Structure 1
Amino acid sequence: MKLKLEEVERYERHVTMRLAFRFGVITVTDATQAVIKVRVALADGRTSEGVAAEALAAKWFEKSPHFTDEQNLEQLRQALGLAIELYRAQGFETPFGLYAGSYADQRRRGAELNLNPLAAGYGPALLDRAILDAVGRATGQSFATMIRTNVPGIRATSLTPDIDDVALAVFLAGLTPQQGIDVRHTVGLVDPLTAADRPPSERVNDGLPETLEEVVSYYRGHYYKLKVGGDIKADLERLGRIAAVLDAGAGDYRTTLDGNEQYDDVEGIVELWRKVEETPALARLARSTLFIEQPIKRAVALSCSVGPLARHRAVIIDESDGELSSFPQALKLGYAGVSSKNCKGFYKSILNAARVARLGPGYFMSAEDLTTWPGVSVQQDLALVSLLGMTHVERNAHHFIDGMSFAPEAEQRAFVAAHPDLYEKQVGKPARLKAVGGRLILGSLDVPGFAVGAAMDFTSMRPMAGEAPIDISFGRRPTRSSS
């Protein structure tokens, strides 16, 4: 199917978080989300609209201290603007063709704007979701159906010389969406762990859990993602406190460690893991650890072997996954896996998943999060990772943000009505993600488009910072309306 990108409206939403979230070098207390609505023209003359949403995150795509947090957000806005220009210039093309056809120029021109490859990829990641959403709405097909039958036209290109078209077609056709997925709860670097860490004067008292102890008893989940900060002594002390909570109440739990690039080299993270294994109080946590995620700074992560660490636990790349060639490069250095994040692009996730399928046992893809807010963002990410066969996914926004509190009441009710297996709404409270027994039920995501069965209220949003939404087809400002 070929189409042409006609119009893109760009908006933002803001939310004050119920709890502070620290990862890497930043502590986040409020957040901004980019929301887009696209209009595409199909080859048969029809037009269709689609949506996508993703957090505008500081100090993840670009961690250099030379950029302020606001400059980080502006970099992501620039990446989106650049992608719109490049997609528009291609005219009629397949959805995947728009992505592949602009890939090199997106990175080249992004570099001219001081955008690293990870930041430059943010723009296409948003556009691709909204475009496929529009295709699904026009054809009445769900995301799973479109990928399995390859409606987007995903194919091997010079960008992926290790991928074979025949094997790729077999892989896509064999995908089956899961009806549910387990939540892997994120434990940030400043999260309160016990009641002693959360005195009454600091409590939010909104009915949701505030400490790790409360999370364990409230959601009854079995998977936890633990952040470490690059200081071996401090990391060991905190992991010990976390282990005490999980050992006492989480049953047969599993964990992953996320370094967020906080260690300078492989020797540092190996030393941490050795001490974890040597500490009796951490014995159960050590046995529970499935893998270690991006512990080494990206400047050196793909220039040295992680074999010394991989002998203890499997290691995956996350922030180092800036290019389509990054995962194959990492494999040569001893990495066993790569993360899937919609903010890096769902085509990249699909292609990397096909690589994992070809590699076989011992290699894997993990499902990770960049604060996918409830609503469009979390639903599109869940649809992707469940289709790719992942059984648990990091989720954090439902804990650090109070549900859909950022959206008008009518929009919240619409999402609850369209996706009652995924959300619940109590009187006087926002619509919140429903994770009974630490598990999300996903059947309602099987709707025409990209997993979104309800409408967002665009009149409640502000135009993207720095510019009003522009109709790039005709040079006029579009009417702001619900879609």
Structure 2
Amino acid sequence: MPGLAIRLGAVALFERGMRFTHPFRFGVARVEAAPQAFARVEILSEGGEAVGAAAEMMMPKWFDKNPAKSPEDTVADLRASLLHAAALYREAGAGARTPFGLHAECLPGQVAWARARGLPALVAAYGPALIDRAILDGALRLAGTGLAEGLRSNLPGLDTRLTPDLPQDALDAVLARIAPLPAVALRHTIGLADDLDALDALLARSRPGFLKIKLSGAVGPDRARLAAILGLAARRVPDFRASLDANEGYDAAGLAALGDALTRDPALARHRDALLWIEQPLDRGATFSGPLAPLPLPAIIDEADGDYDAFPRALALGYRGTSIKGCKGVYKAILNAARAEVAGAIVSAEDLTCQAGLAVEQDTALAACLGIGHAERNGHHYVDGFGPAPAAEAAAFRAALPEFYAAFPGPGRAGAPSLPTAALLSGPGLSAGARPDWRAMTPLAPSPLAPSPLAPSAPQETAP
């Protein structure tokens, strides 16, 4: 099996608080600030040494919606997931492994750790998801290549040991055919707390071709609000397309009532052809309790996509697709995209408030390589620019990808309807050449890991 054999040096974890310009409400959560986690890993192989990095938001009350837990509790669980994964990866990474081989070896221990603590599968996946992306970034840099060529040559060493329903030759064929898109359109998120007058002004200013509309799970209010939003969108952007996201908010009866409204309510039915799918309509547990009742538009899973077997189980019950998301894992995204190609299913690109810098670059690169033409983008909607990042850090990212960030919108800035990917995918690495200022962050915890042979062990030190 192809793949670059690597070993790990130091693994360092950091966080930076991100305050939103206005509240983001989805499902039961109302978020006004959240920390962004960062990973920095050092990769060694016979071919040399490299540093990889990744970033991902620690969004409260999305990974775990347990009402007994506070938002702070759920973020603490994500920190614990990261720290446990870092220990597993550092131990396994002392021996030579491919990047995917390291993921496959560490995953069972991470899953067992989470189950023993009663933590959801999404929490278990969070730590490996961030560390895997940093490792892949470093491996691509070591090889001097970008993501598209790295996947075509199967540099990560992807195989089907975690997806036995997927034939290896089907995976190999999908990887060999990767032809990245030159741009990925932005699908603008409309949160439950977003003001409709402000939305009308944004639609007039930016004219986004794709929207993602959050639903509350209450049929009456959703019906009225959805009719208002679709009416606004049709007036401002006549050829718009929109996805709906219930964030686990509906029960079976409510979902049936929503489906009926989409068919029979004239204010909604006239826009039916503009609707793409409904994302995660039922609670993640109820998703697998029985066949999905017929709906007038496809349903896909998101929060229910916690394990590698979730996607084929959902397809068997009548769901039509799944989402890729950085916080759920880069390798699961690629393997599920291959499964979807075999099954003729939908793969959507979704965004857990990806921030400018590493997170949005890596997320956009993956969508482009998997041929997903539009991706949810909301980080720029809720955080202005690079937020609290030092000015020099923001300038470095903009200088590394000037066309990308010129297109990147923000509060009061129209931006462009899509993000160009050519420079982003030219490599080397999973993201462009810029790096965050590690000294301007808080270490997630004192690193218990062995000193790096490449740099001083203190996580505050700046790495290239």
Q: Which amino acid aligns with 1:89?
A: E
Contact residue 95 and residue 152 of structure 1 kept, 8 A: yes
Alpha carbons 2:100, 2:158 under 8 Å: kept: yes
Residue 18 of structure 1: SS of its match in structure 2? Answer: strand
Does residue 324 (structure 1) correspond to residue 308 (structure 2)? The answer is: yes
- Partners of 1:287 and 1:163 in 2: how far apart? 32
Q: How far apart are the structure 2 equivalents of 1:431 and 1:220?
A: 14
* 1:171 maps to amino acid: V
1:95 aligns with 2:99: yes
C-alpha separation in 2, matches of 1:435 and 1:6: 39
Aligned with 2:402: secondary structure?
coil
The amino acid that maps onto 1:64 is N
Instruction: Describe the SS at the equivalent of 1:257.
Output: strand
Can you list the C-alpha shifts for 1:8-29, whole angstroms capped at 9, x where unaligned? Answer: 1111111221111100101111
How many Å separate the matches in 2 of 1:463 and 1:68?
23
* Superposed displacement of residue 434, structure 1: 7.5
Answer yes or no: is 1:443 the counterpart of 2:425. no
Aligned equivalent of 1:477: 458
Given that residues 15 and 35 in structure 2 are in contact (C-alpha distance below 8 angstroms), is that contact kept between their aligned partners in structure 1? yes
Equivalent position SS for 1:455: coil
- Tell whether the 8 Å contact from 1:10 to 1:463 is kept in structure 2 after alignment: yes
Alignment partner of 1:165 is 2:161:
no
Q: Distance in 2 between matches of 1:119 and 1:183?
A: 27
Determine whether 1:183 maps to 2:186. Answer: yes
User: Which position in structure 1 is the counterpart of 2:248?
Assistant: 261
Partner of 2:294: 308
Which residue of 2 is the match for residue 36 of structure 1?
Answer: 39
Q: Say whether residues 1:27 and 2:5 are aligned partners.
A: no
Aligned to 1:245: 232
Which of 280, 291, 298 is equivalent to 2:277? Answer: 291
**Which of the numbers 411, 425, 436 marks the counterpart of 1:456?**
436
SS at match of 2:380: helix
- In the alignment, the residues of structure 1 paired with residue 256 and residue 262 of structure 2 have an alpha-carbon distance, to the nearest angstrom, of 10
Instruction: Say if 2:443 and 2:460, in contact at 8 Å, map to a contact too.
Output: no
Task: Tell whether the 8 Å contact from 2:206 to 2:414 is kept in structure 1 after alignment.
Answer: no
Partner of 1:205: none
User: Which deviates more from structure 2 when the two are superposed, residues 101-110 or residues 337-346?
Assistant: 101-110
Q: After superposition, where does 1:3-402 map in structure 2 within 5 Å? A: 3-44=6-47, 46-90=48-92, 91-157=95-161, 159-194=162-197, 211-265=198-252, 267-309=253-295, 312-360=296-344, 363-402=345-384
* Partner SS for 1:255: strand
Greater mean deviation of Cα atoms: 371-380 or 106-115: 106-115
For residues 397 and 440 of structure 1, the distance between their equivalents in structure 2, rounded to whole angstroms, comes to 14
Alignment deviations for residues 349-402 of structure 1 (CA, whole Å, 9 cap, x no partner): 100000111113xx1101111000011000000000111011111110111110
Code of the aligned partner of 1:88:
R
Q: Which amino acid aligns with 2:422?
A: G
User: Partners in 2 of 1:408 and 1:357 — Cα distance?
Assistant: 42
User: Secondary structure in 1 aligned to 2:285?
Assistant: helix
- Which stretches in structure 1 are left out of the alignment for 5+ residues? 195-210
| Equivalent-residue separation in structure 2 for 1:333 and 1:95 (angstroms) | 33
The one-letter amino acid of 1:444's match is A
Please give the alpha-carbon distance, in whole angstroms, between the structure 1 residues aligned to 2:186 and 2:39.
27
What does the per-residue CA deviation read over 1:290-336, in whole Å, with 9 as the maximum and x for residues that have no partner? 11100100121111111322xx1111000000000000000110001
Number of aligned pairs? 455
Q: Tell me which moved more, 139-148 or 347-356.
A: 139-148
Aligned-pair Cα RMSD in Å:
2.0
Residue of 385, 394, 418 corresponding to 1:403 = 385
CA distance in 1, matches of 2:102, 2:111: 14
- Following superposition, the deviation at residue 473 of structure 1 comes to 4.2
1:417-432 aligned at under 5 Å gives the runs 417-424=399-406
Question: 2 CA distance for matches of 1:4 and 1:24?
Answer: 41
> Secondary structure of the equivalent of 1:19?
strand
TM-score (norm 1): 0.90
The SS at the match of 1:106 is: helix
Q: 2:211–2:241: 8 Å Cα contact kept in structure 1?
A: yes
The Cα of 1:247 is off from its aligned counterpart by 2.0
Q: Distance in 2 between matches of 1:7 and 1:275?
A: 55
- Residue type matched to 2:419 in 1? L
Matched-pair contact (CA < 8 Å) for 1:420–1:444: no
Q: 1:356 to 1:432 in 2, by over 3 A?
A: farther
| 3-state SS in 2 of match to 1:251 | coil
Q: Deviations over 1:92-129 (max 9, x none)?
A: 21100011112222101121233211110001100111
